[in-house]
Structure 1
């Protein structure tokens, strides 16, 4: 792999003539980089495919190739990609429906808008995986027709299809009105009863670790039930029947459904498995009383799930903030807090609560500025990246708390170049801050040059367009291929150097 040429291939400033030269010598790696160019013309895309056929699929998905550019006999997967995008020709679908390669028929089965005769042929395909793929993406009437298929794997796929009619999903769970399944992937290949060894030594074995069949196809039936529980089209009254099921996986899938009745929520809130209570805790179906019960749960993962519930009352959330690690993401309830609630949260005497609101990026200026002056470093790490903060405010944060906040200060989109240069020269160096500076849109050479001295920031800084051209050229021969590639992709690389590089034998 020539890292410099791959970098050049991705360089947005590369002249079109140089792109043509790279296409003429492209290998698989170079073709992948060239295929990602935003300015790649249709003629160049066609030329690239003639050089490296494997890139045709990606170009087809990106709309760089049309049906007129693809011969399905030469580039079958690209033709299938166009069919998948709804841009292929109907006759291609009929061609692939009778293809000897089951993998291609399987890919075809997932394509939308197939002609009725093609759907009918795929539904009768001798390969179960082809029919199952069709079942998972088929329109309602086709999915309903496949619910009675003799193979349990096809029925599992029907259960996962959100277009499957609710009454069909109910029948798949209860079995009412459907003939019993006759086959599954286990009994297709093994004498039953059979339970798959989790340490199976066979290198060609494709069975899942928990695959089992005693004639009732129990493992795939379990998968079918789970798929149905995760399917929002499954009727609530059928789904709730799994509240007492012995399978933890099924109870967890049920606990996450937003259509749960209060009585079922109460039952699941008493589940002995913390994971079930955790999934329930994040469910917006919970009422306030049950939320307050789960807020006192002994398991921290349950309380964390509750903190991410969009309906959690603010008083409960503020209590949780003091006892539970909620992560760095903005919590849904904080994101929807009213102006009055936001102001109250920002005035909280507890730093953990102020941290929650400081993660918002749409705060009124007065609240933002008050939090920027907060005495607690953890609050500052949350507010420092907020747009609109002045250089003086950012410099003050850095001066008061040093390395504890430098990386977040450097991540502020409005940090001026002078401040970034100061942060880059901080002693001792702060690795995370240097990486933020290396990618900052306002960074200039005085800030970027120190980043080149840091092993992890160096590849990022090498691609920054504010680097001096002479420095970029020097980085082309760096011992780290990632740095050399980033420099070659730098849009500030002199055009003469680009042309010289592509002209070398």
Structure 2
């Protein structure tokens, strides 16, 4: 019954009186409120009723802006109140209330909220639990972050290093250690006798130390994490990261490779890194120039080459060359999305099928280019252009006749595909299972086409939720063995209202 109720809760055709009855069945245990709180048609009264049934939904509704401070008692629903504070919509008195809350998780959540009063910030900065202070350090203002950079606990410093509001001078000091006293504590030595290395396969269920966390008195794993966070922080000065291209830590070199402010000499060193992951992160970096793009395009590792394919400034000749041997899939590449009209014409007229395939992924092509590619003799090009809006029924049928199963699924995604074509696709011999999955969500799919889709295991749930499915079939699917199908059928807006009412009545009887 749970799957039926979840489907009904999201059914856009569910009458308001049945929504009210579902709300009365909701609680934190059955997750029904979570499905209901996403309904856009809830009245103010219904929103308040859903929030009262489950605090998880109260939190969600608060973040959606559908609850106000007048709707929430912070003592009865503390996390919903904290959500409003996080959105800047809660009274500041609530912040003072939660700053003294005995539950650490609430103080930690408060510490991440913006615009806190100065006295609350000072209370949180002096909190006895370092996790609260660290959360404040991660989100606070430049002035407070600068102070917390000198905090004796390494975990707080790690949070400061990730805060983009932290002053550049403080970030540089965290990177190098210069001008700061060393930390005196970390989470490892807080809990374990040093030296200690946390077993990645630690069997303790109550242990939340990170795998490999270690401390020999120098808090080395957290110091490493401080540098990694600072390397990933765009506010860290470029000069402070110099020299890390040769650091023995692969993770630090990867973090460095992602920075968009790298000097050319650092990029060149990273391009020769022995670890493919470092080179791949560099290949994704907008800072690299054309010469380095060409170097990385010839890399021996396919992950590196794929990142170059995705680079927004890859030269077209390099892109076409890589496209011959790189699995790209049905993806509009950034460089193709930004191509000029002249470049599109050049690619579409190329004798190289890989070039034509790339441009065929655009969905805003001029009609003359679109139609030329629709007649392309290469199946990969036809497959790429098949979903393009504006293609006529005859063009799509010609594609299917010429290329067969290679274009069937993509033709089924075309927004202008006619109902007759979609029905004909279901009768294609041999069939293509992926085509049924695409067709099952097509807005023009007919009852005949959808009934054919029900025979496919993966298409069946999608077809069960399609409003064009006959009502009698939708009702039958409410008893299907597949729970996904049951939920989709109960969410189908074509489900008869009388059936909806009967399902709710049965649920009320079961609940008591």
TM-score bracket, normalised by the shorter chain, equals: over 0.9
Corresponding residue for 1:424? 426
Q: Deviations over 1:464-493 (max 9, x none)?
A: 111122222222222322212211111112
Instruction: Find the aligned partners of 1:236 and 1:326 in 2 and give their Cα distance.
Output: 34
Instruction: Find the aligned partners of 2:456 and 2:327 in 1 and give their Cα distance.
Output: 31
1:115 aligns with 2:96: no
Instruction: Find the aligned partners of 1:290 and 1:454 in 2 and give their Cα distance.
Output: 48
Corresponding residue for 2:31? 29
1:473 aligns with 2:487: no
Instruction: Find the aligned partners of 1:245 and 1:321 in 2 and give their Cα distance.
Output: 34
> 1:148 is matched with which residue: 145, 150, 153?
150
Corresponding residue for 1:46? 48
Q: Shift of the alpha carbon at 1:496?
A: 2.5
Corresponding residue for 2:242? 240
Structure 1, 103-112 or 238-247: larger mean CA deviation: 238-247
1:330 aligns with 2:332: yes
1:72 aligns with 2:77: no
Task: Compute the TM-score of the two structures, normalised by the length of structure 2.
Answer: 0.96
Aligned length: 505
SS in 1 for 2:114: coil
Q: Is the 8 Å Cα contact of residues 297 and 308 (structure 2) preserved in structure 1?
A: yes
1:125 aligns with 2:136: no
**Mapping for residues 431-470 of structure 1, pairs under 5 Å:** 431-470=433-472
Corresponding residue for 2:220? 218
Q: Is the 8 Å Cα contact of residues 282 and 307 (structure 1) preserved in structure 2?
A: no
Q: Deviations over 1:441-474 (max 9, x none)?
A: 1112121111112221111111111112222222
**Mapping for residues 200-215 of structure 1, pairs under 5 Å:** 200-215=202-217
Q: Is the 8 Å Cα contact of residues 373 and 381 (structure 2) preserved in structure 1?
A: yes
Instruction: Find the aligned partners of 1:221 and 1:53 in 2 and give their Cα distance.
Output: 38
Instruction: Find the aligned partners of 1:210 and 1:274 in 2 and give their Cα distance.
Output: 22
Q: Deviations over 1:51-82 (max 9, x none)?
A: 33442211221222211111111111111111
Corresponding residue for 1:502? 504
SS in 2 for 1:4: helix
Q: Shift of the alpha carbon at 1:169?
A: 0.8
Corresponding residue for 2:166? 164
Corresponding residue for 2:318? 316
Q: Shift of the alpha carbon at 1:292?
A: 2.0
1:390 aligns with 2:405: no
Q: Shift of the alpha carbon at 1:107?
A: 0.6
SS in 1 for 2:416: coil
Q: Deviations over 1:350-370 (max 9, x none)?
A: 222221111111111111111
Structure 1, 420-429 or 92-101: larger mean CA deviation: 420-429
Q: Shift of the alpha carbon at 1:428?
A: 3.2
Corresponding residue for 1:83? 85
RMSD: 1.5
Corresponding residue for 1:9? 9
Instruction: Find the aligned partners of 1:309 and 1:51 in 2 and give their Cα distance.
Output: 48
1:193 aligns with 2:195: yes
Q: Shift of the alpha carbon at 1:427?
A: 2.9
SS in 1 for 2:191: coil
Q: Deviations over 1:400-441 (max 9, x none)?
A: 121111111001111111111111222333211111111011
Q: Deviations over 1:90-137 (max 9, x none)?
A: 111101100000011001111111111111100110111101111111
SS in 1 for 2:405: helix
Q: Shift of the alpha carbon at 1:159?
A: 0.6
Q: Shift of the alpha carbon at 1:327?
A: 4.4
Structure 1: give runs of 5+ residues left out of the alignment. none
SS in 2 for 1:318: helix
Structure 1, 434-443 or 280-289: larger mean CA deviation: 280-289
Corresponding residue for 1:349? 351
Q: Deviations over 1:236-274 (max 9, x none)?
A: 111232111111111111111111111111111121222
Structure 1, 473-482 or 392-401: larger mean CA deviation: 473-482
Instruction: Find the aligned partners of 2:332 and 2:242 in 1 and give their Cα distance.
Output: 32
Q: Is the 8 Å Cα contact of residues 240 and 254 (structure 1) preserved in structure 2?
A: no
Q: Is the 8 Å Cα contact of residues 55 and 79 (structure 2) preserved in structure 1?
A: no
SS in 1 for 2:188: coil
Q: Is the 8 Å Cα contact of residues 391 and 416 (structure 1) preserved in structure 2?
A: yes
Structure 2: give runs of 5+ residues left out of the alignment. none
Q: Is the 8 Å Cα contact of residues 240 and 260 (structure 1) preserved in structure 2?
A: no
SS in 2 for 1:426: coil
- Cα distance change on mapping 1:240 and 1:311 into 2, 3 Å: farther
